[in-house]
Structure 1
Amino acid sequence: MLSFIRKHNSSDSDDSSDSDENTSEADGYGSDHDEIIAMSLSDWEEEDENGWEEEEGNLDETDIHTTIEAERMRLSLPSNLKRVHIQADLYAILQKQEATMREGQINDALRKLRLTLGAKAWMLRNKVRNARGGKGRTRAWDSVKTKEQEVQRHVQIYLQARAALQRMGMGAEWRPITKQDLAMPGDLVEPNRFGQRSSSLPWFWRIEDGGVLDEIQESPEINESSILSVYRVNWLRLKARVARWTEEKKIVAHEMVWIVKSFKYFREQWADRVRKAGVEEPGLQAFAEKQIDLWDTFAKNAEEMFQWAKTTSKEERWRKKGPEVAMITVS
């Protein structure tokens, strides 16, 4: 490997010379200035015949004779290989090392994604809105488009690293990134909008790694983009949501009792009307008895449902009634 690097460096330095003879003597690769150190795909045909399978399907006949630059060769990482191609113990070691590398790649991509989105928000807030004239607006939007290209690049890096982990049976905790996740926070673009009580930031803004706020404060542009204030607003919003659910959890058991009692109350009201109507009003008596049966059915169904909620596990409630019922703990 060292000899290969020395030859490669010597060939790069000799290519700038005007003498073909000096180039040939220095690197031993011939006299062509434009010759690139490469490896032919046909050199691997012998290994393919011994059990190696191509990852992307069969190569065309024209692709077999093409060359790949050494600097652009694809590394044979465990996520790109099959278990039959390598010993089990060695595969486990390499798989663990690649998983660590992919985790770092994911964290770096998410960090750069947050920083780039913050810089994009800063440009929208300061450059685009304050631009004057056609040229000024064009330049401002060109800057925003450049940041958008950076955002897409970081997303692709994240998705590729996540796919590599999934091919190794790992990375289940990392979610996909959608177009909705890349939208600018509404608190920054339109802070006084309606219906923001239940809105929240995308998941990669809420990673509990302790470094999200630090990286925002390190960047002057992002700090000026009011992202920090968006975090504060979302924290207060989530705090209020937790308070609402805590209150709901406390009163839901009492509401179950109140509902059953209210149904029984209406049943007794109609029973009293039946007694007062007597036999002189048979039509009114029949309607009242129908209402008695209706409210009695409501009361019995409510008691059965509430008893089922109290005695059924959270998983079973989730499966039959949905997440709303499963989230409520009844005592």
Structure 2
Amino acid sequence: MKTGTAPLAAQWTTWVPVVAVVALVLAWGRELPGFVVALVGLCLVGAVLAAVHHAEVVAHRAGEPFGSLVLAVAVTVIEVGLIVTLMAGGGDKASTYARDTVFAAVMITCNGIVGLCVLVGALRNRVVVFNAEGSGGALATVCTLATMTLVLPTFTTSQPGPEFTGAQLTFAAVASICLYGIFVAVQTVRHRDYFLPVERDGQEPAADEHAPLPTDRETAASLGLLVVALVAVVGNAKLVSPTIEGAVESAGLPTAVVGVVIALMVLAPETLAAVRAARRNRLQTSLNLAYGSAIASIGLTIPAIALASIWLSGPLVLGEDATHMVLLVLTAVVSALTVVPGRATLLQGGVHLALFAAFVFLSFSP
């Protein structure tokens, strides 16, 4: 991220998040006509773009992998609040919202973001390179968390249906938060070098490689505005979600589509940031964002939902059906084959995007 951008750019990234939050406050709890929903949608898009800008300022100051961690954790924490809010007001029909949103986040990050970033990088450099040790460890953590929280509930027998008992849910929550904590410690302290960008001979330097670091004041301002922008993203997504739910119901589509659409909106800042990193020959940063977001999405959401289930009414369905389990297994196998060599081409990007397209299509037409 270059510092010293044009004053106009600095201006819009400052006032757009504020305007989006003002719109959120004014519209919260009201019946919104169509044109107001459209305005809220515009505020949502502006907040996403502003969040990417401020995340890149913070990332440039903090360096990798801390910058990726900031955006992944910030988005996930607010995503948890959105899921809990939807479940609290949705009744029994919202019993699968946590499962649908978390699974959608895994598919979006591991196939959509990874595939798009590999494709963008390979179009520019033919072969993209990254650190197999760090990315492989992150992928292993994603697969373990996803299997433990989204697959096992379908096969346990203590509770009828694809649900955990209270003890099983507690175990899954504690294991998830522990794995997340270990991953963060490895990523930021013990093996930080495994998550740093890798360059190969002849590769063009990143556009921000020699850009001056933002000052402490600029970094603090961007960190604050990043939080404001993310609150605006998730809050405005909550405002437009009734319209989405109504459209899904009117079209006769599965309720899982709501989780997919919400996850797409919430993960938009990370997607844009990851693609921009790939364009600057920093695929490792893109993978840090993708896999880090998937780990945070499961490792923070499941413990929070387990705690919230104490006061939330209705069942908590976590176990996936056979179709989604097949997609999860295929994603794990393809991702391992992509990550292990530490190099990828257009083919790997295309395979991941094909898997993502299959997930989206089967969500609308199961």
Give the TM-score of the pair, scaled to structure 1.
0.26
Give the TM-score of the pair, scaled to structure 2.
0.24
Q: Which has the higher helix share?
A: 2
More relative contact order, 1 or 2 (CA 8 Å, 6+ apart): 2
Who wins on radius of gyration, i.e. which is larger?
1
